Amino acid sequence: MDLQKWTPWSWFRSESQDAPAAREPQPLSGMHRELDRWMDGMLRQFGLPAMEAGSGEMPELLRPRLDIAERDGDYLISVEVPGVEEQDIKLTLDKDRLVIEGEKRQESTTREDRYQRVERAYGRFRRLLDLPADAKPEGIEATFDKGVLTITVPRSGEAGSARREIPIKG
């Protein structure tokens, strides 16, 4: 029996497989995690943002949050990327995987700047989304407005046609 067809679709399957924790354990991975945890504690003591690497791939502070809505004719993906310029975002399709990458750049500072507290994070980010079987990759469109990247993925309707109502006899 194929249990895969009964499990809900996971948009984040590749993202979790891409994380170092999902790969084979490395001999020094425990020491590396402990060093990261120690460094996060040190950063917090000085009022700096901790790296908090949730997936092991990038600091959690840089991981853009997103919403995925399923509609009759398409999927709507909204990605929050505040402080990121449109030209610093790259959207690509790798087989059936949507790749969202970019970089949040730090504003220029002068030598006179003496920060009292730093809470904003800067650096590269990357999200991987696995498209469902009914997605039409050739029709994907994206817009960017006020720090929100909106991606529209059209649906073919083929996966929905496999669903039918079964009458209940009494």
pLDDT of the chain, 170 residues: tens digit per residue: 444 444 556 787 877 665 544 444 566 667 767 787 787 777 767 766 555 544 444 556 678 899 999 998 999 999 999 889 999 999 999 988 999 999 988 776 666 777 777 667 778 889 999 999 999 999 999 999 999 999 999 998 765 555 567 778 87
Q: How far is CA 138 from CA 141, 153, 154, in A?
A: 9, 9, 9
- Of 62, 52, 77, 55, residue with least CA distance to 135: 77
Q: Rounded to a whole number, what is the largest CA-CA distance in the chain?
A: 82
pTM for the whole structure: 0.63
Can you list the domains of the chain with their CATH numbers?
10-107+120-156 (2.60.40.790)
